[in-house]
Amino acid sequence: MGHKNTDIKAQLYEQLAQVGKAVGSPHRLEVIELLAQGERTVEGLASALSIPVANMSHHLASMRAARLVDARKEGTFVFYRLSDPDVFELARMIRTLAERHIAEVDRLVRTYFRAPDELEPIGREELLERVRAGEVVVLDVRPTNEYESGHIAGALSVPLDELERRLAEIPQGKELVAYCRGPYCVMALKAVKKLREQGRVARRLLGGFPEWRHARLPTEVSGKRR
């Protein structure tokens, strides 16, 4: 009986290890962050990560085998999505543990993401309160297709590469809060820098859209609240 239990335990841990293997790649962790914003095609993911479609297909096949992602077909395109909200939670915990216990991760985060902030990033709950009070304007600086697949309710779409020429469209007299894909996304940092150079009061959201969506705070898709 003891030998049989040992075999079963070994089989269970072998299955559990598949999940670890499925996230054991920088690209796969980034895929989780992208899919936490909404479903994407293989081609869209490959473009976002600047890798060949064939490589992305391999990553997705491994993640699907571990039941981390699901897929659906629409015409000639295959769309992928996270199989469970806890998949994003898994990636978030990996990030949190790495920041706490791996010195190089902590150094990189402090140097490239925390140090450039002249003002403290704004948290999700505070932002929600201030949006409801009409005190801030929220800017989504991700590419337009990402905004359209899901964004913070009421946010304006101003992609980073369009920010300077569209500055006149952004309302005056209120603090601006920019956000992008997540805590390691530099688009919001760059947007805040450009806005401050133009004399605007700007901060970035702590985290990004995946964290906002995971917290079940108000979002919109194609203008529809959900």
Active site members? 180
Q: Residues 6 or more apart from 148 whose CB is under 8 A from it?
A: 157, 221, 222
Alpha carbon distance 75, 82 (integer Å)? 20
Provide the 8-state DSSP code for 177.
E
Alpha carbon distance 226, 210 (integer Å)? 15
Provide the 8-state DSSP code for 47.
H
Alpha carbon distance 200, 174 (integer Å)? 9
What is the gyration radius of the CA atoms in the chain, in angstroms?
20
**209, 37 Cβ separation under 8 angstroms:** yes
Alpha carbon distance 210, 35 (integer Å)? 8
**141, 182 Cβ separation under 8 angstroms:** no
* Phi, psi angles (nearest 5°) of residue 193: -60, -45
